[in-house]
Amino acid sequence: MTDSPDILRRLAALPVANVGDAMDRLNVCQSVLRTMCPGLTLAGPAYTVRTRPGDNLYIHKALAELQPGQILVVSGGGDIDRALIGELVAGRAVAKGCAGIVIDGAVRDVAVLQALGVPVFARAITPAGPYKDGPGELDVPIAVADVVVKPGDYVLGDDDGVVVVPRERAETVVERAEDKQRQEDAKRTEIAAQLGLEAFPTGA
Ligand SMILES: O=C([O-])CC(=O)C(=O)O
Ligand SMILES: [Mg+2]
Protein backbone atom coordinates (compact mmCIF):
# COMPACT_ATOMS: atom_id res chain seq x y z
CA MET A 1 0.00 0.00 0.00
CA THR A 2 1.41 3.40 -0.95
CA ASP A 3 2.01 5.77 1.88
CA SER A 4 0.57 9.30 1.91
CA PRO A 5 3.00 11.33 4.00
CA ASP A 6 1.06 14.55 3.38
CA ILE A 7 -2.26 13.14 4.64
CA LEU A 8 -0.50 11.58 7.61
CA ARG A 9 1.24 14.86 8.44
CA ARG A 10 -2.10 16.71 8.26
CA LEU A 11 -3.90 14.12 10.40
CA ALA A 12 -1.10 14.15 12.97
CA ALA A 13 -1.42 17.93 13.35
CA LEU A 14 -5.07 17.66 14.47
CA PRO A 15 -6.53 16.85 17.90
CA VAL A 16 -7.73 13.23 17.97
CA ALA A 17 -11.13 14.46 19.17
CA ASN A 18 -11.63 16.52 16.01
CA VAL A 19 -10.65 13.63 13.76
CA GLY A 20 -13.25 11.50 15.58
CA ASP A 21 -15.85 14.25 15.09
CA ALA A 22 -15.00 14.27 11.37
CA MET A 23 -16.04 10.59 11.21
CA ASP A 24 -19.48 11.35 12.72
CA ARG A 25 -17.90 10.59 16.13
CA LEU A 26 -17.53 6.92 15.16
CA ASN A 27 -14.25 4.98 14.81
CA VAL A 28 -13.17 6.21 18.24
CA CYS A 29 -11.75 3.43 20.42
CA GLN A 30 -13.51 2.81 23.72
CA SER A 31 -12.17 4.97 26.55
CA VAL A 32 -10.58 1.94 28.23
CA LEU A 33 -7.73 2.40 25.75
CA ARG A 34 -5.56 4.98 27.52
CA THR A 35 -2.16 6.52 27.00
CA MET A 36 0.64 4.97 29.04
CA CYS A 37 2.90 7.90 28.12
CA PRO A 38 1.04 11.17 28.76
CA GLY A 39 1.98 14.02 26.48
CA LEU A 40 3.15 11.81 23.59
CA THR A 41 1.07 11.69 20.41
CA LEU A 42 0.89 8.79 18.00
CA ALA A 43 0.18 8.82 14.25
CA GLY A 44 0.91 6.33 11.50
CA PRO A 45 -0.31 3.44 9.39
CA ALA A 46 -1.21 0.27 11.28
CA TYR A 47 0.75 -2.97 11.23
CA THR A 48 -1.82 -5.33 12.72
CA VAL A 49 -1.42 -8.36 14.95
CA ARG A 50 -4.04 -10.68 16.41
CA THR A 51 -2.92 -12.72 19.39
CA ARG A 52 -4.39 -15.24 21.75
CA PRO A 53 -5.26 -13.32 24.94
CA GLY A 54 -2.24 -13.28 27.28
CA ASP A 55 0.20 -14.60 24.61
CA ASN A 56 2.73 -12.52 22.65
CA LEU A 57 4.43 -15.02 20.29
CA TYR A 58 2.91 -13.23 17.29
CA ILE A 59 4.04 -9.84 18.55
CA HIS A 60 7.61 -11.17 18.50
CA LYS A 61 6.99 -12.41 14.93
CA ALA A 62 5.65 -8.96 14.00
CA LEU A 63 8.92 -7.30 15.07
CA ALA A 64 10.59 -8.90 12.05
CA GLU A 65 7.99 -7.39 9.69
CA LEU A 66 7.60 -3.85 11.09
CA GLN A 67 8.51 -1.00 8.73
CA PRO A 68 9.68 2.47 9.83
CA GLY A 69 6.80 4.80 10.68
CA GLN A 70 4.28 2.03 11.28
CA ILE A 71 2.16 1.70 14.41
CA LEU A 72 2.14 -1.76 15.97
CA VAL A 73 -1.55 -2.41 16.66
CA VAL A 74 -2.41 -5.54 18.62
CA SER A 75 -5.75 -7.18 19.29
CA GLY A 76 -5.27 -9.18 22.45
CA GLY A 77 -8.97 -9.77 23.00
CA GLY A 78 -9.07 -7.03 25.65
CA ASP A 79 -7.52 -9.35 28.26
CA ILE A 80 -5.95 -7.31 31.09
CA ASP A 81 -4.50 -10.10 33.24
CA ARG A 82 -1.21 -10.55 31.29
CA ALA A 83 1.03 -7.85 29.81
CA LEU A 84 1.50 -8.39 26.06
CA ILE A 85 4.50 -6.06 25.82
CA GLY A 86 7.02 -4.32 28.03
CA GLU A 87 10.30 -2.49 27.66
CA LEU A 88 12.05 -5.19 25.61
CA VAL A 89 9.40 -5.59 22.91
CA ALA A 90 8.88 -1.81 22.83
CA GLY A 91 12.63 -1.17 22.57
CA ARG A 92 12.94 -3.62 19.68
CA ALA A 93 9.97 -2.02 17.93
CA VAL A 94 11.50 1.44 18.32
CA ALA A 95 14.77 0.11 16.91
CA LYS A 96 12.82 -0.88 13.77
CA GLY A 97 11.50 2.70 13.49
CA CYS A 98 8.05 1.91 14.92
CA ALA A 99 6.15 5.18 15.58
CA GLY A 100 3.95 3.86 18.39
CA ILE A 101 2.16 0.89 19.92
CA VAL A 102 -1.53 0.23 20.58
CA ILE A 103 -2.39 -2.84 22.66
CA ASP A 104 -5.96 -4.01 23.19
CA GLY A 105 -4.79 -5.62 26.40
CA ALA A 106 -2.25 -4.85 29.12
CA VAL A 107 1.41 -3.76 29.22
CA ARG A 108 4.20 -3.68 31.84
CA ASP A 109 7.54 -1.93 32.50
CA VAL A 110 5.61 1.30 32.11
CA ALA A 111 8.26 3.60 33.62
CA VAL A 112 10.73 2.45 30.98
CA LEU A 113 8.14 2.77 28.19
CA GLN A 114 7.89 6.42 29.21
CA ALA A 115 11.68 6.78 29.32
CA LEU A 116 11.93 5.25 25.82
CA GLY A 117 9.71 8.09 24.62
CA VAL A 118 7.50 5.81 22.53
CA PRO A 119 3.76 6.49 22.55
CA VAL A 120 2.02 3.41 23.96
CA PHE A 121 -1.74 2.98 24.43
CA ALA A 122 -3.28 0.07 26.33
CA ARG A 123 -6.16 -0.94 28.57
CA ALA A 124 -4.17 -1.68 31.72
CA ILE A 125 -0.83 -2.23 33.46
CA THR A 126 0.10 -5.51 35.14
CA PRO A 127 3.41 -7.10 36.12
CA ALA A 128 2.11 -10.52 34.99
CA GLY A 129 3.98 -11.62 31.89
CA PRO A 130 2.70 -13.22 28.67
CA TYR A 131 2.98 -16.77 27.38
CA LYS A 132 4.72 -17.32 24.06
CA ASP A 133 2.92 -20.22 22.41
CA GLY A 134 0.52 -18.66 19.88
CA PRO A 135 -1.67 -18.91 17.99
CA GLY A 136 -2.02 -15.56 16.27
CA GLU A 137 -2.18 -13.78 12.91
CA LEU A 138 -0.18 -10.99 11.27
CA ASP A 139 -1.32 -8.25 8.89
CA VAL A 140 -5.06 -9.02 9.04
CA PRO A 141 -8.11 -6.88 9.89
CA ILE A 142 -8.57 -6.79 13.68
CA ALA A 143 -10.86 -5.24 16.31
CA VAL A 144 -9.31 -2.87 18.86
CA ALA A 145 -11.50 -1.55 21.70
CA ASP A 146 -14.60 -1.88 19.51
CA VAL A 147 -13.11 -0.41 16.32
CA VAL A 148 -12.02 -2.29 13.18
CA VAL A 149 -8.39 -1.69 12.14
CA LYS A 150 -7.28 -2.87 8.71
CA PRO A 151 -3.60 -3.09 7.78
CA GLY A 152 -2.50 0.39 6.66
CA ASP A 153 -5.39 2.30 8.28
CA TYR A 154 -4.22 5.47 10.03
CA VAL A 155 -4.14 5.23 13.81
CA LEU A 156 -3.97 8.44 15.82
CA GLY A 157 -3.59 8.85 19.58
CA ASP A 158 -3.21 11.66 22.09
CA ASP A 159 -4.02 12.18 25.76
CA ASP A 160 -7.75 11.94 24.93
CA GLY A 161 -7.51 8.46 23.36
CA VAL A 162 -7.27 6.67 20.01
CA VAL A 163 -9.10 6.95 16.67
CA VAL A 164 -8.79 4.87 13.51
CA VAL A 165 -9.10 6.50 10.08
CA PRO A 166 -9.85 3.97 7.32
CA ARG A 167 -7.23 4.47 4.62
CA GLU A 168 -9.82 4.83 1.86
CA ARG A 169 -11.59 7.68 3.71
CA ALA A 170 -8.48 9.55 4.89
CA GLU A 171 -8.67 12.42 2.36
CA THR A 172 -12.31 13.25 3.19
CA VAL A 173 -11.77 12.86 6.93
CA VAL A 174 -8.72 15.14 7.05
CA GLU A 175 -10.57 17.86 5.10
CA ARG A 176 -13.57 17.69 7.44
CA ALA A 177 -11.35 17.68 10.53
CA GLU A 178 -9.33 20.68 9.30
CA ASP A 179 -12.58 22.52 8.61
CA LYS A 180 -13.78 21.79 12.15
CA GLN A 181 -10.42 22.91 13.54
CA ARG A 182 -10.73 26.26 11.71
CA GLN A 183 -14.27 26.77 13.07
CA GLU A 184 -13.03 25.99 16.58
CA ASP A 185 -10.02 28.31 16.18
CA ALA A 186 -12.42 31.21 15.67
CA LYS A 187 -14.29 30.23 18.86
CA ARG A 188 -11.01 29.85 20.80
CA THR A 189 -9.92 33.36 19.78
CA GLU A 190 -13.29 34.74 20.91
CA ILE A 191 -13.13 32.92 24.27
CA ALA A 192 -9.48 33.97 24.83
CA ALA A 193 -10.58 37.61 24.46
CA GLN A 194 -13.37 37.03 27.00
CA LEU A 195 -10.80 35.53 29.38
CA GLY A 196 -8.44 38.47 28.85
CA LEU A 197 -5.77 36.14 27.43
CA GLU A 198 -3.58 36.89 24.41
CA ALA A 199 -4.14 33.36 23.12
CA PHE A 200 -6.23 30.36 24.09
CA PRO A 201 -4.18 27.73 26.02
CA THR A 202 -2.84 24.95 23.78
CA GLY A 203 -2.26 22.22 26.35
CA ALA A 204 1.13 21.49 24.77
O1 LIG B 1 8.26 -10.66 28.51
C2 LIG B 1 7.72 -10.10 27.54
O3 LIG B 1 7.61 -10.62 26.41
C4 LIG B 1 7.08 -8.75 27.76
C5 LIG B 1 8.00 -7.84 28.46
O6 LIG B 1 8.02 -7.72 29.66
C7 LIG B 1 8.96 -7.03 27.65
O8 LIG B 1 8.80 -6.93 26.42
O9 LIG B 1 9.84 -6.41 28.26
MG1 LIG C 1 9.86 -6.77 30.48
pTM here is: 0.96
Burial code (b: 16+ CB inside 10 Å, e: under 16) for 122-142 equals: bbbbbeeebeeeeebebeeeb
* N- to C-terminal Cα separation, the chain: 33
Among the bound ligands, name the one nearest to the CA of residue 128: 1
pLDDT at 203: 81
- Binding site as annotated, residues: 86-89, 108-109
Q: Mean pLDDT per 10-residue run, the chain (204 residues)?
A: 78 98 98 98 98 98 98 98 98 98 98 98 98 98 98 98 97 98 97 97 84
Strands (E), the chain: 34-35, 42-51, 71-75, 83-85, 100-107, 120-125, 136-138, 142-144, 147-149, 154-158, 161-165
pLDDT at 40: 98
Domains of the chain in sequence order: 5-195 (3.50.30.40)
The answer to whether the CB of 42 falls within 8 A of the CB of 164 is no
**CB-based pocket (< 6 A), ligand 1:** 56, 83, 85-89, 108-109, 129-130
Q: Which residue has the least CA distance to atom 3 on ligand 1?
A: 85
Q: Best substitution site from 88, 109, 132 to test ligand 1's pocket, by max atoms within 8 Å of Cβ?
A: 88
Distance CA 38, CA 168 (A): 30
pLDDT at 8: 97
Q: Which residue has the least CA distance to atom 6 on ligand 1?
A: 86
